[in-house]
């Protein structure tokens, strides 16, 4: 106990020296109060519990993760929703991908494959959106049901995440890319592949409330970020064949309000892009 409390005091002292009011505010009430309790009653369980609570408050109050972000990107939205749900503060560095801002030498040095999203968590750099989501839960909320600890449940979440990002999102982007970037209509093969992926999502969902049962997981956040593009952003007539996905999307939004808080901006950008393309403007330029 003395080691724990002494460590906490050192953290508080360092914070106070730097005038870090957030750290000192969260840390001191627990440390000061419970040092007195410990002196009166060594081994007090309340003391132990409150030190843990103080540690948790301290951890949450100091976590700021730098995110290299492309507004409107579903993978970036995924990371932002996960962080919002976990209470992790993000410092956004927004890139205009069409202007190739992600190819600047400083970012390429940080991430040699120059993809977004990329995070920098106090010197630890990570890219690939689903890997980032897993990392954030493991580090900042290891008990969260978003990414269960049970080996088989976690493996199921992984499988669904990899399907959603590797199959569904890939088919979706392959379908819309000709429209959005070349002004061309997608081929029938691209439409068939996209419909097949959407049908697989319906099969995987089955009659469950969410992909893994009654609890929202990372897999649901990923699927919602992908579906949101066509349900609330772009237009796809083929979606009418899959009403289960629309119903699921509405359930998800009610269960995780953080999604709409984050995704609203991204979905508006997509709607604006579609509107510009429909009127013959450059879909990636400012509206005229």
Catalytic positions: 73
Q: Which residues pair with 94 in a beta bridge?
A: 69
64 phi/psi in degrees, rounded to 5: -130, 120
> Is the Cα torsion angle 115, 121, 125, 130 positive or negative in sign?
negative
User: Contact, 63 vs 89, CB < 8 A?
Assistant: yes
Please choose, from the candidates 126, 96, 130, the residue with its C-alpha nearest in 3D space to the C-alpha of residue 113. Answer: 126
**Whole-number Cα distances in Å, 285 to 69, 97, 120, 180:** 18, 12, 29, 12
Find the angle CA(12)-CA(17)-CA(22) to the nearest 5 degrees.
55
Q: Work out the angle between the directed axes of helices 188-205 and 151-163 (0-180°, nearest 10).
A: 160
**Number of other CB atoms surrounding residue 66 within 10 Å:** 16
Helix count (H) and strand count (E) of the chain? Answer: 12, 4
Q: Which two three-digit tokens encode residue 222?
A: 């990923």
**Whole-number Cα distances in Å, 172 to 67, 70, 192, 195, 212:** 24, 18, 11, 9, 22
What residue has token string 């499988």?
159
């Amino acid at each position: 106990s003395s080691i724990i409390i002494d460590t906490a005091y050192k953290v508080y002292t360092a914070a106070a020296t730097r005038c870090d009011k957030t750290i000192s505010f969260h840390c001191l009430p627990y440390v000061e109060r419970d040092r007195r309790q410990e002196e009166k009653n060594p081994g007090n369980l309340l003391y132990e519990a409150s030190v843990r609570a103080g540690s948790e408050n301290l951890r949450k109050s100091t976590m700021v993760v730098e995110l290299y972000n492309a507004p409107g990107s579903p993978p970036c939205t995924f990371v932002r929703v996960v962080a919002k749900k976990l209470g992790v503060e993000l410092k956004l560095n927004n890139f205009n991908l069409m202007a190739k801002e992600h190819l600047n030498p400083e970012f390429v040095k940080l991430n040699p494959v120059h993809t977004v999203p990329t995070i920098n968590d106090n010197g630890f750099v990570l890219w690939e959106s689903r890997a980032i989501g897993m990392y954030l839960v493991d580090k900042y909320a290891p008990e969260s049901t978003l990414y269960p600890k049970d080996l088989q449940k976690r493996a199921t979440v992984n499988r669904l995440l990899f399907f959603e990002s590797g199959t569904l999102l890939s088919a979706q982007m392959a379908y819309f890319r000709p429209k959005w970037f070349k002004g061309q209509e997608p081929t029938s093969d691209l439409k068939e592949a996209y419909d097949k992926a959407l049908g697989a999502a319906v099969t995987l969902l089955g009659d469950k409330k969410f992909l893994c049962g009654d609890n929202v997981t990372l897999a649901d956040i990923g699927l919602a970020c992908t579906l949101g593009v066509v349900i609330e952003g772009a237009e796809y007539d083929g979606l009418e064949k899959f009403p289960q996905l629309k119903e699921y999307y509405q359930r998800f939004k009610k269960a995780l309000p953080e999604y709409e808080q984050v995704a609203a901006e991204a979905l508006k950008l997509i709607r604006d892009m579609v509107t510009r393309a429909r009127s013959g403007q450059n879909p990636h330029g400012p509206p005229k």
